[in-house]
Structure 1
Amino acid sequence: MLKITDLVKRYGSGDPVLKNLDLTIEGESVVSIIGSSGAGKSTLLRCINRLVEPTSGTIELNGTDLTRLRGKNLRAARRKIGMVFQGFNLVDRLTVMENVQSGRLGYISTWSAITRRYPKQDIRRAYELMERVGIAHYADTRADQLSGGERQRVGVVRALMQEPDILLADEPTASLDPKTSEQIMGLLRDLSRELKLPVLINIHNVNEAKEYTDRIVGMRYGRIIFDDKPAMLDPAAMEAIYAGSPHADRSGGPDDKAAAS
């Protein structure tokens, strides 16, 4: 279970980007975070995995307060937080298998990583996951030869190789065409069910959030102002979340060209 309590993030002396935020996620639920650019969505995800340092508050994952961890204890905790990135974050010159195995860097020795002598059980698990998402036949293909959807599937498998307790996805479909976006969202939803894994997705496409997630969290100016089932996201809630946003798409969500917050 992820439990965030009274989370604040401030950069310098400016107003907080996150303002006394509370959020709890548990089970195999898929939760989407929506909101205009600048609402604090990406900052929230980056605070959870400590890519950004929270100013105050607590972030507990299965009872461990991540905000108190340092050094090797923090590195160990990060292994349990899978991350899927908008820009894929693959090493283009490496093969799909090599990129996938980078998800095991926190578990294997430096020598094994440098020489690419991966444990047999890790190779076997990688093939199982790649088969599940439809990219096993690309195992020996360089990452730069793949399409955007294929690259994102590699990113998903890499994150799952960490054996995470939660999966974070920061705008995972923003760089993809509509059809591929739906495939990736469906994949994340199905994997959550199969692996009993909570998934937290920062997403700009409200229609996809409604279709593929169990719960929608709406943010505005660093605060959560909506937290309910997709069916409850009515026009009034949309207006509260996106009112005055230059990126608001009144047909269902913010413009696809809007930058991630």
Structure 2
Amino acid sequence: MLKISKLVKRYGNGDPVLKDLDLTVESESIVAIIGASGAGKSTLLRCINRLVEPTAGKIDLNGVDLTALRGAQLRHARRRIGMIFQGFNLVDRLTVMENVQSGRLGYIPLWRAVMRRYPKQDIRRAYELMERVGIAHYANKRADALSGGERQRVGVVRALMQEPEILLADEPTASLDPKTSEQIMELLRSLSREFSLPVLINIHNVAEAKTYADRIVGMRYGRIIFDAEPDALDAAAMDEIYAGTPAEERAEAGAAETLQAQTA
């Protein structure tokens, strides 16, 4: 379980990007975070895995306060936090297998990674997971030869190779076409159930959030202003979350019908 208490993130002397934020994510659930650009969604995810240092507050993952960790303890904790990126973050010149094995870098000696001498059990596990997501036949193919959906599946397997206690996904479908986006969201939902994994997704597409998430969290100006099941996300809630947002962004987020009603 992930439990965030009174989380604050401030850059310099400016206003906080995250303001006393509280959030709990249970196991085997998908929580979608929505909100306009600048709401603090990506900062929240990056505070959890300490890619961004929180200014104050506590982030507890299964009894471990991540904000209190330093050095080797922090590196060990990060191994159990899988991250799926919008831009895939693959090494294009490496094969799918090599990219997938990068998820084991926190577990194996550096010389094994440099020499590409991966343990047999890691290779076996990689093939199992690649088969599970439908990319095992690309194991020896370079990453830059894959489509966007295939590249994102590599990113998902890489995260699973970490044996994570939670998956964080930062706009995982933003670079994909609609059909592929649905496939990736369905994959994340099924993997959450299969591995009893909590999945926290920063997502701009509200329609996808309502279809695939168990719970939706709406953010505005660094605060959570909505937290409920997808069916509760009505026009009034959307209006509150996206109030003052440019029309283009509201429409892209799936709020076009609200905007149209306002201007009618």
Q: Would you call these one fold, judging by a TM-score over 0.5?
A: yes
Contact 1:204 1:253 (8 Å CA) reproduced: no
| TM-score, normalised via structure 2 length | 0.95
Q: Which runs of 5+ in 2 are unaligned?
A: 257-264
| Selected match of 2:254 from 243, 252, 255 | 252
SS at the partner of 2:106?
coil
How far 1:244 moved relative to its partner? 1.1
State how far apart, in whole Å, the 2-side matches of 1:121 and 1:198 are: 25
Q: Which amino acid aligns with 1:248?
A: R
1:3 to 1:117, Cα distance in 2 relative to 1, 3 A: same
Deviation sequence 1:191-249 (CA, Å, 0-9, x none): 00000000000000000000001000000000000000000001110000001101112
SS at the partner of 1:58?
strand
Q: 2:35 matched to which residue of 1? A: 35
State how far apart, in whole Å, the 2-side matches of 1:253 and 1:54 are: 31
Q: 1:225 matched to which residue of 2? A: 225
How far 1:75 moved relative to its partner? 0.1
Q: 1:11 matched to which residue of 2? A: 11
How far 1:252 moved relative to its partner? 2.5
Contact 2:206 2:253 (8 Å CA) reproduced: no
| TM-score, normalised via structure 1 length | 0.96
Q: Which amino acid aligns with 2:146?
A: L
How far 1:114 moved relative to its partner? 0.6
Q: 2:260 matched to which residue of 1? A: none
How far 1:106 moved relative to its partner? 0.3
Contact 2:205 2:253 (8 Å CA) reproduced: no
State how far apart, in whole Å, the 2-side matches of 1:8 and 1:108 are: 34
State how far apart, in whole Å, the 2-side matches of 1:20 and 1:239 are: 23
Q: 1:258 matched to which residue of 2? A: none
SS at the partner of 2:4?
strand
State how far apart, in whole Å, the 1-side matches of 2:25 and 2:185 are: 18
1:156 aligns with 2:156: yes
Contact 1:217 1:226 (8 Å CA) reproduced: yes
SS at the partner of 1:126?
helix
Q: 2:262 matched to which residue of 1? A: none
Report sequence identity in percent: 80
Contact 2:3 2:24 (8 Å CA) reproduced: yes
Q: Which runs of 5+ in 1 are unaligned?
A: 255-261
For residues 174-213 of structure 1, the aligned pairs below 5 Å read 174-213=174-213
SS at the partner of 2:45?
helix
How far 1:250 moved relative to its partner? 8.3
SS at the partner of 2:168?
strand
Q: Which amino acid aligns with 2:189?
A: R
State how far apart, in whole Å, the 1-side matches of 2:155 and 2:166 are: 15
SS at the partner of 1:192?
helix
Alignment RMSD (CA, Å): 1.0
SS at the partner of 1:249?
helix
Q: 2:23 matched to which residue of 1? A: 23
